[in-house]
Chain A
Amino acid sequence: EVQLVETGGGLIQPGGSLRLSCAASGFTVSSNYMSWVRQAPGKGLEWVSVIYSGGSTYYADSVKGRFTISRDNSKNTLYLQMNSLRAEDTAVYYCVYQIIWGQGTMVTVSS
């Protein structure tokens, strides 16, 4: 069974850093593209970043230069390194593989 489990969310001060992890099971993270999608409280879905099987990465303009997507094939895990966090980054972050979504992890940026 394909499953995604995100961890790493929490409360962080503006300007701080956080790394989200997405542990995958039932498939290999390098086999296809994987994405991060976020949802601010009471708002819609916003694509954040994608990493393709060949390693190419892309980012939404709102996070470009601050967030980095990566994966560890040996751990079958996807990551999102988030630096210089802002209040507007507050959201539930979902890891997505094809049509499979994780349960999400909440990131709150506040002083």
Chain B
Amino acid sequence: DIQMTQSPSSLSASVGDRVTITCQASQDISNYLNWYQQKPGKAPKLLIYDASNLETGVPSRFSGSGSGTDFTFTISSLQPEDIATYYCQQYDNLPPDTFGQGTKLEIK
């Protein structure tokens, strides 16, 4: 199974800050990577698919990049409503759908 290593596990930042989360796959997954946002008590919501494509309706301050084994998720200017936990997910080699461990984002 492909392992996804996501870092950091938690992050504290100020409103307006640029925030970056990384995800590393244990083997080449091309660009078959999603980024999800999950708020407490809610199901995950897709933000980025195919590593860098913004899902419809998602604000442009969210972006993703990378291919192969190394991926990055960025919020260009952190907003209070972005407080959530973020997960990467690979879908190159299924099953299983493999998720990163998550990054809990808090406001400083």
Residues of chain A having any CB pair with chain B under 8 Å: 33, 35, 37, 44-47, 50, 58, 60, 94, 96, 99, 101-104
Contact = CB atoms under 8 A, between A and B. Distances in A.
B96 A50 contact: yes
Given A45-B44, A104-B43, A99 B97 contact: no
Contacts of B65: none
A104 B43 CA distance: 7
The majority secondary structure among interface residues of chain A is strand
Given A44-B87, A45-B102, A99-B49, A35 B97 contact: yes
**3 closest pairs, A vs B, by CB?**
A101-B43, A47-B96, A58-B95
Contact of B98 (A47, A96, A103): A47
A58 B38 CA distance: 25
Interface of B: 34, 38, 43-46, 49, 55, 87, 89, 94-102
Contacts of B49: 99
Contacts of B89: 45
Contacts of B43: 94, 101-104
B99 A46 contact: yes
21 contacts: A33-B94, A35-B97, A37-B97, A44-B99, A44-B100, A45-B38, A45-B44, A45-B87, A45-B89, A45-B99, A47-B95, A47-B96, A47-B98, A50-B94, A50-B97, A58-B96, A99-B34, A99-B46, A99-B49, A101-B43, A104-B43
A50 B97 CA distance: 9
Given A99-B34, A102-B43, A104-B43, A60 B96 contact: yes
Contacts of B102: 44-45
Contacts of B97: 35, 37, 47, 50, 96
